[in-house]
Structure 1
Amino acid sequence: MDLNSDLGEGFGIWTLGDDDALLDIVTSANVACGFHAGDPSTMRRVCSSAVSRGVRIGAQVSYRDLAGFGRRRIDVDATTLTDELRYQIGALSAFGPVTYVKPHGALYNTAAVDPVHASAVAAAAAAFGLPVLCQPGSVLARLAAEAGLRVVFEGFVDRGYLPDGRLVPRGTEGAVLTDIPTVTDRAVRMARTGEVVAIDGTVLQLPFESLCVHGDTPGAVSMATAVRTALLAAGLPLSPF
């Protein structure tokens, strides 16, 4: 099982999360590419640290939304969005070996259901021949597969799920999980059986290949450490996908 986290999300003098601590825990790093967070020096530093630890680097691409941390849907046409996503992947590639693409925030959620924005993500990834990390059953997963790309299915150990398999919107009760024992039990179940319980009690069966602990979740380092420990204790080895 792969364990990933969103990293490099500081900007200038502002820091968010403990990138170095998380790089000692995860196997894949989704690195912000400057459009929702991150700057060239942060990108260089995180990529260098990831390479030295054997952690795979993914381009965490976003809408152009620094002010909103990429958590606002932007109404942009497919051509412009594709160009902006390719620009971000190319920028991160200047600092390290990018091995996959993962949309961030509002783009992740929009591409799960919107063919126009999903097609832009798939086209940008295809321009570099990169796998796409995304939700199982999403529109993006289908379009990326149709483009001949490897699709890697992701699960979120610290986010709530709706009965249809989508994530509970942020700002809604149950959207973010912070209780570590709950999260670790959930992670082991997701990795072992592909099951995750939605907020209404529905048991979803999904083909997870990578589990995510958000770097900006309160107590992210402690949570990621506990998740890693629990997975290994359950006989579930960790390695990049």
Structure 2
Amino acid sequence: MKKTQIDLNSDMGEGFGPWTIGDGVDEQLMPLISSANIATGFHAGDPNIMRKTVGMARQHGVGIGAHPGLRDRQGFGRRHIDAPAHELLHDMLYQLGALREFARLEGLALQHIKPHGALYMHVARDEALALALVEALQRIDPGLYLYCMDGSTVHRVAQALGQPVVREFYADRDYDQSGSMVFTRRVAALDPERVARKVARACTEGLVHTVEGRDISVAFDSVCIHSDTPGALDLLRATRRALDEKQIRVVGANMLALA
């Protein structure tokens, strides 16, 4: 079934002090998306960048989400850290609280939470961490959207406990036959038109081509294009053109008819 509207999200504020990750074009990316996953200090980001990024999101009417990562700035949060579920949960809550205060300073509420990198993959498969996270969100903010992969452990736990989820499709990442994203620490520059066609096909046919060479079905509510992917601005521009051509509106998570 063809989608008529979709959320479009990207990771924002992924720098530290004078350093930036990716092309450093957050100000140009922000008007093209509907939801921003803002780095909260552990894998990237600092208080000044967080405040600035929240302000940019407010200016463009973009939904704000916390993007907590592992304590691994050198590895950009993409290296697995074997830690107990309660430690990882407390790190996420610490970062969530930091961004919430900057949002409040701008008169905004948080829209969502989306773990970053290796932490995202960990909570996608680890039942103890998934349960700890969702139970904490139920107590803190039961209306906060949790961004995750369709069919993942955390998706299943969130559905069982009634936490709203936004399922993601990754425009700039490959998929394998199981329907999982192929995790990588470095992504090469991609062809913008090819990425745009991939997104358009997923939105109109519900299919994506895998690294094994076959098509699989994908269910999702939001399309993610990472800001640190080389040429991210061109990828987003091409994707917006493709969505416009297919008459698919880009809207925030709170405007979606979620499954």
Contact persistence 1:170–1:176 (CA under 8 A): no
Q: Is this contact kept in 2: 1:29–1:57, CA < 8 A?
A: yes
Letter in 1 for 2:16: F
Q: Which residue identity does 1:71 align to in structure 2? A: R
Structure 1 residue ranges (4+ consecutive) displaced by more than 4 angstroms after TM superposition: none
Bigger RCO (CA 8 Å, 6+ sep): 2
Candidates 75, 78, 101, aligned match of 1:94 = 101
Instruction: Look up the match of 1:44.
Output: 51
Q: What is the TM-score with the length of structure 2 in the denominator?
A: 0.88
Task: Pick which of 24-33 and 10-19 moved more.
Answer: 10-19
CA offsets 1:150-183 (integer angstroms, 9 cap, x no match) = 11110001100011011113158xx666111110
The answer to whether 1:128 aligns with 2:121 is no
Number of the residue aligned with 1:139: 153
Residue type matched to 1:36 in 2?
Answer: H
Contact 1:103 1:121 in 2 (8 A): no
Q: Which residue pairs with 1:119 in the alignment?
A: 131
1:77 offset after TM fit, Å?
1.1
Offset of residue 117 of structure 1: 2.6
In the alignment, what sits opposite 1:149?
163
In the alignment, structure 2 segments of 5+ residues that lack a partner are 1-5, 104-108, 254-259
Q: How does 1:1-241 map to 2 (within 5 A)?
A: 1-16=6-21, 17-96=24-103, 97-126=109-138, 127-129=140-142, 130-170=144-184, 178-241=190-253
Provide TM-score, normalisation by structure 1: 0.94
**Per-residue CA distance 1:82-128 (angstroms, 9 max, x = gap):** 11111111100011121111111001112221212322332343322
Q: Is the 8 A contact 2:189 2:230 kept in 1?
A: no
User: Secondary structure of 1:112's match?
Assistant: helix
Note if contact 1:159-1:177 (Cα within 8 Å) is conserved in structure 2: no
* Amino acid in structure 1 at the alignment position of 2:60: R
CA RMSD in angstroms, aligned pairs only: 1.5
Structure 1: gaps spanning 5 or more residues? none
How far apart are the structure 1 equivalents of 2:91 and 2:185?
A: 27
- Code of the residue aligned with 2:160 in structure 1: it is E
Mapped to 2, the partners of 1:80 and 1:146 lie a distance apart of 23
Contact 1:35 1:64 in 2 (8 A): yes
Quick check: 2:189–2:231 contact (8 Å CA) kept in 1? no
> Matched residues, percent identical?
41
